[in-house]
Structure 1
Amino acid sequence: MIQHHTFDFLKELVENNNREWFQANKERYDAARENVIEFTAELIKLMHKIDPGIDAGLDSKKCVMRIYRDIRFSKNKTPYKNNFGVSIPTRGLKLGGAEYYLHITPDSSFIAGGYWMPEAGHLKSIRQEIDYNGHDLKKIIDEPEFIKLFGKFREQDQLKSVPRDYSTDNENIDLLKLKSFIAQHYLTNKELIKENSAETVAAICSRIYPLNVFLNNAIA
């Protein structure tokens, strides 16, 4: 489970996002990061049973993203993220493709899956799969429980124009215009600090799994 002290650290970081405070609280950061690493290790074991594409031996440390922000090209010069991000890939760390992503931050945590902003080659392949087998994707995203958990899949960011090689009267044009293919569900602090919180997150991911299979099959 995610410990109270992890959320407490992140809450205070929002109010004190500077190097002096961070260095003075480095031990608290290390403890919070270790908590997230341990939680991720537990989640990976559960997720492997749901999605065989996830390596059961995946190093949880490599899944937890850096808290340090790249501020070189950003107007926001605060040096640290106010969250812990966890990326669990389904095709290995360097292959790209569908993944599961856990975002831990006070009062705005969420679990997501799918493929965010696919590279050009993968996007072309996904669109081709939608064109050929859009009914398979619709069966996943229009399932009542999927909509209840993740909302309306089609309401993600779309192209303003029709993508090249497709026409406006294509029956799947609303899906073909998508820039990303993401399912996202918000989690409360209370859900994450429970003893069985990893099981709760894994159960939600089990509903994302068919979407990830569809996307990975498209780019295989």
Structure 2
Amino acid sequence: MLEPQTLTFLKQLKKNNNKPWFDAHRAQYEAARIDFQNFIQLVIDRLQQSDPSITGTIARNCMFRINRDIRFSNDKTPYKTNFGASIKTGGRKSGLAGYYFHLEPGSSFVGGGLWMPEAPALKAVRQEIDYNWDEFQAIIKAKTFQKNFGDVYSADEIRLSTVPKGYEKDNPAIEYLKLKSFIAETSITDEELFTASLHKKTVAAFEALQPLLQFINRAITD
């Protein structure tokens, strides 16, 4: 579980997203960051029992910085109003598919996959889906996957409006081949964040995601 003060800090940061306020409340930020870090480490320690590839992973190395990159953005607010952690084989920047936990008031979720990969990886995953359509279907139709995620995420911002080059529109997998990211997620209410079972729900969701991650990473690394 997470401490209510952690969510309170993020709510206040959203209303006061400026450096003077942040500097004056740095102690609260550090407490919130450590709370989130401890939770992620608990999840890692439980998850590595079913996914040995993340054994020895340190939570602080999975977490994203609170500072925003504003160099090319019209939004000049300096801080993110969420905490995020990416847990994956080889570390957060490995380029492989992995697990993700997003903490944000009113918008928290647990999930993972492969987000906006470079062209070679994207091509490899599409080819893997095309060549192994029955296997991919079995993964996303498995009871545990359906219970946790329903389906892979397929909003307009991560999918092509046309058929990708090299494929026909009558390909049975075409709706998945149009995707530019291969992820799944399930939302978490603010109330659930403070329950003792939060880490168990998170680990269960991550375990349901494992076959999809293995499928994607096989495509990238083989």
Identify the TM-score tier after normalising by the shorter chain.
over 0.9
Q: Distance in 2 between matches of 1:94 and 1:106?
A: 26
Deviating beyond 6 angstroms after TM superposition, the runs of 4 or more aligned structure 1 residues are: none
Q: Look up the match of 2:14.
A: 14
Which stretch shows the higher mean deviation, 101-110 or 134-143?
A: 134-143
Range with bigger deviation, 87-96 or 98-107: 87-96
Partners in 2 of 1:57 and 1:210 — Cα distance? 21
3-state SS of 2:52 partner: coil
- Kept in 2: contact 1:10–1:83 (CA 8 A): yes
Aligned counterparts of 1:34 and 1:77: Cα–Cα separation in 2 = 26
In structure 2, do the counterparts of structure 1 residues 152 and 34 end up closer, same or farther at CA, with 3 Å as the change threshold?
Answer: same
CA RMSD of aligned residues (A): 1.5
User: What are the equivalent positions in structure 2 for 1:46-57 lying under 5 Å apart?
Assistant: 46-54=46-54, 56-57=55-56
| Partner of residue 121, structure 2 | 122
CA distance, structure 2, for counterparts of residue 80 and residue 154 of structure 1: 26
The TM-score with structure 1 as length reference comes to 0.94
Q: Which runs of 5+ in 1 are unaligned?
A: none
User: Percent identical across equivalent pairs?
Assistant: 46
Cα distance change on mapping 1:61 and 1:154 into 2, 3 Å = closer
Q: Distance in 1 between matches of 2:46 and 2:80?
A: 27
Residue of structure 2 in register with 1:30 after alignment? 30
Question: What is the TM-score of this pair, normalised by structure 2?
Answer: 0.93
Measured after TM superposition, the shift of residue 219 of structure 1 is 1.1
Give the Cα separation in 2 of the matches to 1:137 and 1:166. 17
Structure 1 distance, partners of 2:189, 2:210, is 22
1:86 aligns with 2:85: yes
- Answer yes or no: is the 8 Å Cα contact 1:18–1:79 preserved in 2: yes
The aligned residue for residue 165 of structure 1 is 166
1:154 Cα deviation from its structure 2 partner: 6.5
Counterpart of 1:155 in 2: which secondary structure? coil
Contact 2:153 2:185 in 1 (8 A): no
Moved more, 22-31 or 93-102: 93-102
Aligned AA (1:48): Q
What's the CA shift string for 1:138-194, capped at 9, x where partnerless? 111123543342233263432122212211122211111111111000011222212
- 1:80 partner letter: Y
